[in-house]
Chain A
Amino acid sequence: MGIFIQQVFNGLTVGGIYALIALGYTMVYGVMRLINFAHGDLCILGAFVGLTFLTGTAGSGHPGAALLLLAFVVSIVVVAGAGLLLELVAYRPLRRADRLAAVVSALGASVLIENGIMLIWGANVHVFPSGLLPATTWVVAGASITFVQVMIIAVSVLLMAALYLFVHHTRFGTAIRAAAIDQDTARLMGINVNRVIASVFVIGPALGAIGGLFIGIYYRQAYFTMGWTYGLYAFIAAILGGIGNIPGAMLGGVLLGLFNAFAAGYVSSSWQDAITFGLLIAILLVRPTGLLGERVAEKV
């Protein structure tokens, strides 16, 4: 029983991170029908920027919590800026081109960012400093739950709730949803579609930066190829929930996190990835629209 509860909490923590990253994939796909392959790398860029800020300010005498908060702000700003730049330079010129051109541009952006990270920070594994957060651990029914886990789960839930309210209950959120259904009609209704797309490339990477920094803090390490691994998982989460569907990405992230935790805990960690990809293919065969249904208008 203790192991079960433990895996549930581990799964929820990782699931919260997957969900934060998956939101970036699903929002971009919803509006542009583009798999932004560079998204995972942007998230890990967030982890590296945050790490550099934290190691640079360590020992400056300021309270740890304030520095950590600032690290998040700095990495959000940098990553959102990179996302916006990426949209302008690599995706905007290709909006009317063959879709595969944009796919290859996205792959190129991923290679570029990944190797950019390697050039700046090196190819070695960076270890996150300890003592940033209280090392408090609670024991619940035989499972130990750390402060970091509780923080990640709580912040993820809060951010997802905020995004849901923003997209479904504000004017700009309505514009995003309208552009996702039909860009041309949205334009005729006076919506500035360019601004909507730009905003998606700010919100997605911003949430992704938080997710990336969480990965660093949770696993206490960062390396430059991490973006692919976590990006792919988050993308699977987005498909699991139904691509283009924001609550779907949240549900998909949490379910995938739990699934992974149990696969690792009960089956075998060397086959964990294979099991996850097997699950992905099974979903695509049985229910390709995902659990909550995709929100993508198919162009005929």
Chain B
Amino acid sequence: MAESAEIATTAPLPASRRSGFHTSGAVGLALWAIALGVPAVLNSTWVSVAAIFAIYAITALSEDIILGRGGMFDMGHAVYLGIGAYVTGILNTEFGWPIFATMPAAILLAAAVGALLAAPLIRLRGDYLLVATIGFNAIFVLAMQNNLGGITGGSDGLFGLDVPRIFGLQLASQPAMFWLDWVVLGGALLLMRNLERCELGRTLRYLKQDELAATTLGVDARAAKTLAFAIGAGLAGLAGSLFAVQLSSVGPSSFVFTESVTLFAIVIVGGQGSIPGVLLGTALMFVVPQIFRDFAQYRYFVFGFAMIVVMVLRPQGLWPRRRTAV
């Protein structure tokens, strides 16, 4: 039944459902606007936690495009975050590019690498794709550590990135960085919302439900999946660029395999293909551990325990995707 509903809904939606969409969008917009006021209320520690939340939320959303929507088991997503961060770091510190000029390059290179790596691998069974992406992640980190091409700064990484400047304005203060990150997060959320409704989004949903039926009807599975991979990787590249700016340094340890595991888990724990789910997952898996810094010794033990408990009690995720026909 679900499949037939999926195909039939190229027609306009009933008004009731449309309004439902608008409500969730309006609530989201209101929450986002309220969040912009964080620097006015909270102290600097919280402002930087909120800024980092935005960066990881963008990354987790980009992982959701590949894993949650595309159904491709990408367990090396930190690679694209890393590519974005290194592109910005290298172009800025070694070649003197302004930060904002490095961002398109960060997006493009991450997207290109994502598409190139994915194209030959997406025909593999899910578990093999997962293992291959783990392999890429390990190779990427080693290449950065071993100072590939003499420009990655080895295991120390790169330091002293410039602050972003726009129209002669320096975005050097913590609130300025925060607003930059949150504006990009707003853009990423808009992208996710449009992806939901556009042809690629519907194609991916169809492929995920029944790839055989979709390809029989002439859907080019390989093209759609490669495109999804490239978009996800590119968005992660942009997040990586912001990450480098936020820390004003880039090092290999931020992009190790464990980070990829966390991103993967965020999507599954939060709810695949669910925007609020992914945001909730990010808050739980990246921000809560920051808050419990004082219990450093126990926090990952509890973290692992929580992952099992959430999955056993809510295998579909904490905030699963609504079952809409769209």
Contact = CB atoms under 8 A, between A and B. Distances in A.
B12 interface: no
A97 B146 CA distance: 42
Contacts of B300: 111, 114-115
Interface stretch (B46-54, B56-64, B303-311): B303-311
Given A112-B308, A116-B301, A274 B132 contact: no
Interface stretch (A100-108, A165-173, A207-215): A100-108
Main secondary structure on B side of the interface with A: helix
A298 B261 CA distance: 26
A271 B298 CA distance: 33
Interface string A106-131: 01111111111011000000000000
Contacts of B139: 274, 277-278
Contacts of A104: 264-265, 268-269, 307, 311
Interface in B82-127: 120-121, 124-127
B284 interface: no
A243 B126 CA distance: 13
A119 B272 contact: no
A235 B304 CA distance: 21
B21 interface: no
Nearest to B312: A93
A23 interface: no
A274 B139 CA distance: 5
A243 B127 CA distance: 11
Nearest to B142: A274
B229 interface: no
Central interface residue in B127, B131, B306, B316, by most chain A CB within 10 Å: B131
B99 to A, nearest CB: 30
Interface stretch (A7-15, A143-151, A198-206, A280-288): A280-288
B131 A111 contact: no
B219 interface: no
Contact of B131 (A33, A97, A107, A235): A235
Central interface residue in A100, A116, A270, by most chain B CB within 10 Å: A100
A97 B320 CA distance: 14
A86 B127 CA distance: 21
Given A119-B301, A274-B139, A35 B308 contact: no
Contacts of A108: 265, 303-308, 311
A97 B308 CA distance: 13
Central interface residue in A35, A94, A105, A110, by most chain B CB within 10 Å: A105
Interface residues of B, number: 42
B135 interface: yes
B256 to A, nearest CB: 10
A235 B297 CA distance: 28
A29 B128 CA distance: 12
A74 interface: no
A101 B311 contact: yes
B143 interface: yes
B308 A105 contact: yes
B160 interface: no
Interface string A6-32: 000000000000000000000001000
A288 B128 contact: yes
A115 B131 contact: no
Contacts of B298: 115, 119
A111 B304 contact: yes
B130 interface: yes
A263 interface: no
B134 interface: yes
Nearest to A37: B261
B311 A35 contact: no
Contact of A94 (B67, B264, B301, B312): B312
Given A35-B130, A104-B307, A116-B301, A281 B136 contact: yes
Contacts of A102: 311
Contacts of B143: 274
Q: 10 shortest A-B CB distances, which residue pairs? A: A108-B307, A111-B304, A112-B304, A97-B315, A277-B135, A101-B315, A115-B301, A105-B311, A108-B308, A115-B300
13 contacts: A90-B308, A101-B268, A104-B264, A107-B265, A108-B304, A108-B306, A114-B304, A115-B304, A119-B297, A119-B298, A280-B135, A281-B132, A284-B132
